[in-house]
């Protein structure tokens, strides 16, 4: 017998620590290599720690809720004959319920009736399960797991592969966080003790307590860090996108038939921003304490929402892609979130965020900067408004507000103003004569 150590894995390029949200095993449990041991939460992703060995859990060294540094030992295992393998496999991103790119038409509302399928009971999958299912195009939502609490194991996926028959699709269901209504008999003056950093909120009969998920806590921590560290400044510019709207609308039907996905307005905005970032590279910078890092690659973070969380996948080197290419990546990244196949690596490396708040009907908003980036641009709703034109006449035009939040340690109003003016110029000159989506 040999004693092996399981360490906190590196869950992202800038992640230095993780919090054990929940142990999935206990001392004495036998586990196979790649089986999930614990759910871990960082400021970037919720993931699982997989086992590097086959053996028996000997001792758990880190308690639930405890935060430890990357590389620190979290538990030990007894293995037969030992193992020379020391590298930790990359933790898999948390498998989420179907999500929708903002906005989500007909999406499940937080308080809607829900049904929990057996195969979705685990909600999270090991790296081996994810890898096998993706390689063989198996939808994990259609698989019934044989593991503890209905978890899907590698053996379940291998059995499907060996049979040559994919599981039949199940009806789409959404699981939402459990909500607990306070019973009238509970003393209103004696709420449960708050956790560390929590606010002591009075609870009275009829109030509903909703547990904070690991993903929601990660979002809260990252937003708090951004607001505390970065002095936010805000500015807005008005853009006439009448010609862009006409051009896109004239292409959308033929484009969908030819390419198989929708040509959205958002792809035009992301392309314009990536082009302007190339011309104003200071906007593509980050604060690093004693220096400012101006990033070489222009990697655009976009927002994809679920009922319980907001994911920010990244379009790598967006300035080198066409409008069609950007549109395809937006569709593919949103699809990966919906199917639970988005990898943690696909949320890394963003240098500037473009947020499609207009899809909610918003016309003006102030975004919180996606730390450690230096700025975030909110693309608001395109609305028809009466506008006084250059010839003095009043006309109805398609107008959009672009709202920029910036880190005033890195950026000043001058460069931000020039950047927004350039984005405006690019968008107002989009037309069938001047612009190609290919």
- CA 125, CA 135: separation in Å to the nearest integer? 15
- CA 115, CA 22: separation in Å to the nearest integer? 23
Question: Taking the mean position of all CA atoms in its chain, how far away is CA 224?
Answer: 17
Query: Residues 6 or more apart from 307 whose CB is under 8 A from it?
Result: 97, 99, 107, 108, 109, 110, 174, 176
Question: Taking the mean position of all CA atoms in its chain, how far away is CA 170?
Answer: 25
Active site residue 408: yes
Where does 232-322 have alpha helices with state H?
A: 242-259, 265-279
Q: Are 13 and 348 in contact (CB under 8 A)?
A: yes
274: closest CA among 219, 202, 323, 211?
A: 323
Question: Which residue, chain included where needed, has tokens 């908003």?
Answer: 365
- CA 112, CA 47: separation in Å to the nearest integer? 27
405: closest CA among 360, 343, 342, 357?
A: 357
Helix (H, G, I), strand (E, B) or coil at 25: coil
Q: Are 111 and 178 in contact (CB under 8 A)?
A: no
- Distance between first and last Cα of the chain: 61
Active site residue 207: no
Question: Which residue, chain included where needed, has tokens 């590279």?
Answer: 281
- CA 318, CA 298: separation in Å to the nearest integer? 6
Q: Are 21 and 41 in contact (CB under 8 A)?
A: yes
Q: How many angstroms separate the Cα of 42 from the Cα of each of 220, 287, 301, 338?
A: 11, 21, 18, 21
Q: Pick the catalytic residue: 307, 407, 412, 418?
A: 412
Q: Pick the catalytic residue: 29, 232, 408, 418?
A: 408
Helix (H, G, I), strand (E, B) or coil at 365: coil
50 DSSP 8-state letter: E
Q: What is the 3-state secondary structure (H, E, C) of 168-214?
A: CCCCCCCCCCCCEECCCCCCCCCCCCCCCCCCCCCCCCCCEECCCCH
- CA 46, CA 94: separation in Å to the nearest integer? 5
The residues annotated as belonging to the active site are 408, 412
């Amino acid at each position: 017998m040999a004693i092996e150590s399981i360490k906190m894995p590196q869950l992202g390029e800038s992640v230095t620590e993780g919090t054990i949200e929940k142990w999935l095993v206990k001392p004495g449990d036998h586990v196979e290599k790649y089986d999930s041991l614990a759910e871990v939460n960082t400021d970037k992703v919720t993931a699982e720690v997989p086992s590097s060995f086959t053996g028996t859990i000997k001792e758990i060294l880190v308690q639930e809720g405890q935060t430890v540094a990357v590389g620190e030992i979290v538990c030990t295992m007894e293995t037969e004959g030992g193992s020379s393998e020391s590298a930790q496999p990359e933790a898999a991103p948390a498998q989420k319920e179907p999500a929708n790119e903002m906005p989500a038409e007909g999406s499940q509302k937080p308080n809607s009736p829900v049904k929990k399928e057996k195969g979705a009971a685990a909600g999270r999958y090991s790296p081996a399960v994810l890898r096998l299912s993706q390689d063989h195009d198996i939808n994990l939502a259609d698989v019934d797991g044989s593991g503890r609490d209905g978890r899907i194991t590698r053996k379940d996926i291998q059995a499907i592969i060996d049979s040559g028959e994919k599981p039949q699709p199940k009806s789409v269901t959404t699981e939402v966080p459990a909500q607990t209504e306070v019973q009238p008999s509970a003393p209103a003056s004696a709420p449960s003790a708050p956790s560390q950093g929590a606010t002591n909120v009075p609870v009275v009969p009829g109030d509903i307590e909703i547990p904070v998920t690991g993903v929601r806590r990660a979002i809260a921590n990252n937003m708090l860090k951004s607001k505390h560290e970065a002095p936010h400044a805000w500015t807005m510019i008005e853009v006439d996108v009448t010609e862009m709207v006409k051009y896109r609308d004239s292409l959308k039907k033929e484009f969908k038939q030819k390419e198989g996905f929708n040509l959205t307005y958002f792809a035009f905005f992301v392309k314009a921003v990536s082009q302007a970032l190339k011309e104003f590279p200071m906007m593509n910078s980050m604060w690093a304490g004693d220096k400012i890092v101006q990033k070489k690659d222009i990697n655009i973070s976009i927002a994809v929402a679920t009922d319980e969380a907001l994911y920010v996948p990244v379009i790598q080197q967006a300035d080198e892609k066409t409008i069609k290419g950007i549109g395809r990546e937006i569709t593919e990244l949103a699809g990966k979130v919906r199917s639970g196949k988005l990898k943690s690596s696909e949320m890394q490396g963003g240098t500037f965020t473009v947020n499609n708040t207009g899809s909610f009907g918003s016309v003006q908003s102030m975004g919180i900067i996606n730390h450690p980036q230096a700025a975030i641009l909110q693309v608001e709703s395109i609305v028809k408004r009466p506008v006084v034109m250059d010839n003095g006449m009043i006309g109805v035009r398609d107008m959009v507000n672009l709202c920029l939040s910036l880190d005033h340690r890195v950026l000043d109003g001058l460069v931000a103003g020039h950047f927004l003016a350039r984005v405006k110029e690019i968008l107002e000159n989009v037309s069938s004569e001047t612009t190609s989506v290919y």
